[in-house]
Chains A and B, each alone.
Chain A
Amino acid sequence: MAKVRFKGRIIVLVVIVLLVFSSIGFRLSMLHLHPAEWVIEPIQEGRMYEWKPVGNRGRIVDRNGEILAMDRPAYHVYLDPKYIAKYGDPEAVSKYLSMEFKVPEEDIRAKLAKTSRQYEVIKKHVPGHQLKRFKARAMGVVYTPDELVNGVETNIYLRGVKFAEAPIRNYPKGPLMAHVVGFSNHEGVGSAGIEQRMDSYLRGKEGHRVSKKDGRRHEIYSARQVDIPPEDGATIVLTLDQQLQYVTEKTVERVCREFNAKAAWAIVQHVRTGEILAMASFPTYDLNRFNKAPEEWRRNRAISFNYEPGSTMKAGVIAAALDNDIVKETDIFDCENGYWVYGGKSLRDSHGEGKISVADIIKVSSNIGTAKIALEMGNDLLYESLKKYHFGDRLGVGIPGEEGGIFYSPKHWSKISATRIGMGHEIGVTALQVLSMMNSIAYNGVQMQPMLVKKIVAPDGIVLEEFSPTVLGRPLNPDTARRMQKLLARVTEDGGTGTKARVEGYTVAGKTGTAQKIKPAAEGGGYYSKNFISSFVGFLPVENPEIGIIVVADDPGEYTDSGRKIKYYGGTVCGPAFKEIAEFSVRYLRIAPEGNRIYVARPEE
């Protein structure tokens, strides 16, 4: 057998090589399997990637899916003063940022002076297009400072200027539906209207991603440990229609301007479902600049303004009297030629009437006639009948700020209270309540709950909640309601107070209202003699009522040279406004004059 040469050396060499590699292997294994804390911690920290993306706030859309509120990408521009002090150019940063974002240079310099800090916000919610422009001008282009460093030209970018994504709430339609949609504040919390009421649905859910990043600070996809995507908030579908809303808003604005009213508001409601198709209040404001609008402009008067309705209340009182067989349409009442004293207090009619029927009392809107009917009903029956329309209670329309009106029980009434309540005084109501009363007459005695939200839809299309029409009550018998519809239709006929509310080709039922405004206690109490709340409330077509509309104006009118106030009656101020809204509505919703609906509503075509 041949003798192996250098056998010993080979063995030694093999052992050494094995030892070296084994120890390296062992060390590597130990480093990987049981690394020491002091080794692993800084590495892990440096490589750690954590991101918490915010889910967008849900959208608010009208019944046709038109976007009324949505989150739009925007950015906070911020500085890293510590970094800029070391590597950047504070002068250039302050100059360019000031120029672009209209922030005083001194403010930016003051922030740059805080060199221990790494996050100083310069401008919040900068829209994407502005940022793109800025980046192209100042961030992507090489910038040469005036002062050269040691005579050498150094090209510097605006280092240390950073951008953080921060979506902003945007209202693409501006002031349209402002009072219903409401707004969310800069922290993304709903603060008015639907934004506030539906905040829990609208709010998006934060996501969470934990991963590692590479040497270029990019996230390593394969190293993701946690990846929970953010969830956008739900979409709220309103019952409002943007076209009807626009026409209504334009009309109430015109009423305000033409008749010098302090404010005006209107509601359009679908009679059979209670869906509110339009709700406008003027003065209004742009939702994108909500913080610049005075509080008074942000008030949704259609649901939050308590007023004495005046003659529009007569419809409810006479309907109740008919319903309880207290009177019949043909019963004759003496209207005392326009002047009547009861309980030591006088009561007047604007046009003196003699003996007229109940049907005519409502047509000419006689205060004295209605007061006598109310007295015949008695306090308790009058109170109970009006309570059936939910006066004094909130109707639950679904947005904050809704008032329930003021309606005291008979134990607080005086001797003349019934006569005053009959003609719409000594009772505080909202426009929504009066419209609801009128619509219950239109819908054969059924009062529907007013609805503003149709459904709530999750981002994946699943309907979370769908609101169906709800019956609030049945304040009248169907027969009485139908009789009342006919009586109210006479108001817009010749000789009635609401002729200006007529719509060509359609039969309109309604009631005018002109009530003196209450004088505050500080001014001595009682009523103003020349300040009124004017209104018109009605529905059409009478044959098969589809829509109910109310228009209210606060203190309209003009003074003549002699100091007399003119153009303040409900029929004069709000009648034409009703007509304007109704004319558009019937065409837009394709409601036939005979009451046959060619289409139930546009969206269901």
Chain B
Amino acid sequence: MATKRKTKKRTTKKNQVQVPFPVLLANVLVLVAVLGLSYMWLCSRCDALGKDIKSKEGELYAAQKRLVNEQDRWSSITSPANLERAIRKYKLDMSMPREQQIVRIGSWNGAGRTAQAGLKIAHP
């Protein structure tokens, strides 16, 4: 008796269902992913630049404040009263020369404005 051999149907590559690879979809997905990643990269770059600008703004602001403080200090120490105090403190003998000690060399330009040179020579 011929036995009917029960053959198991083998799933080979030949008889498998070949789902076609969705190239278009894949391309679209890759494009979307690339766009998305680019967008995210740009966003993060913008954020980083924004933070950079913010920190520079802060630095500028701090520098401006420091400048203002320094200008204030400088203005205060160069006030005539403080300079005089410093002159006294360091015992610097500074006074204007007397009239006889001054030699003026100048030329009058006739227009009543500025002469060409104005030199003062103080004789000791």
Q: Across the interface, which residues of B come within 8 angstroms of A587, CB to CB? A: 96
| CB atoms of A2 and B17 under 8 A apart | yes
Docked Cα-Cα span, A172 to B113, in Å, equals 34
Q: Across the interface, which residues of A come within 8 angstroms of B17, CB to CB? A: 2-5
| CB atoms of A172 and B75 under 8 A apart | yes
| CB atoms of A505 and B99 under 8 A apart | yes
Q: Across the interface, which residues of B come within 8 angstroms of A172, CB to CB? A: 72-73, 75-76, 79
Does A590 make an interface contact (CB < 8 A)? yes
Interface residues of A in 554-594 (CB under 8 A from B): 583-584, 587, 590, 592-593
| CB atoms of A72 and B76 under 8 A apart | no
| CB atoms of B108 and A596 under 8 A apart | yes
Nearest residue (CB) in A for B71 is A67
Q: Across the interface, which residues of B come within 8 angstroms of A170, CB to CB? A: 72
The stretch of B30-38, B50-58, B86-94 in contact with A is B50-58
Q: Across the interface, which residues of A come within 8 angstroms of B18, CB to CB? A: 2
Q: Count the A residues whose beta carbon is within 8 Å of the partner chain — how many?
A: 41
Q: Across the interface, which residues of B come within 8 angstroms of A67, CB to CB? A: 71-72, 75
| CB atoms of B54 and A71 under 8 A apart | no
Docked Cα-Cα span, A20 to B79, in Å, equals 78
**Residue among A128, A222, A583 facing the most chain B CB atoms (10 A cut-off):** A222
Nearest residue (CB) in B for A128 is B69
| CB atoms of A598 and B118 under 8 A apart | yes
Nearest residue (CB) in A for B98 is A504
Docked Cα-Cα span, A246 to B99, in Å, equals 22
Does B46 make an interface contact (CB < 8 A)? yes
Does B3 make an interface contact (CB < 8 A)? no
Does A221 make an interface contact (CB < 8 A)? yes
Docked Cα-Cα span, A592 to B118, in Å, equals 10
Nearest residue (CB) in A for B57 is A221
**Residue among A583, A590, A598, A600 facing the most chain B CB atoms (10 A cut-off):** A598
Docked Cα-Cα span, A584 to B97, in Å, equals 11
| CB atoms of B72 and A70 under 8 A apart | yes
Q: Across the interface, which residues of A come within 8 angstroms of B75, CB to CB? A: 66-67, 70, 172-173
Does B80 make an interface contact (CB < 8 A)? yes
Does A526 make an interface contact (CB < 8 A)? no
Q: Across the interface, which residues of B come within 8 angstroms of A128, CB to CB? A: 65, 69
Q: How far is the CB of A289 from chain B (nearest CB, A)?
A: 15
Does B81 make an interface contact (CB < 8 A)? yes
Q: Which of A219, A243, A246 contacts B54 (CB 8 A)?
A: A219
List the interface of chain A (C-beta within 8 A of B).
2-5, 66-67, 70-73, 128-129, 170, 172-174, 176, 218-222, 242-243, 246-247, 504-505, 544, 583-584, 587, 590, 592-593, 596-600, 604
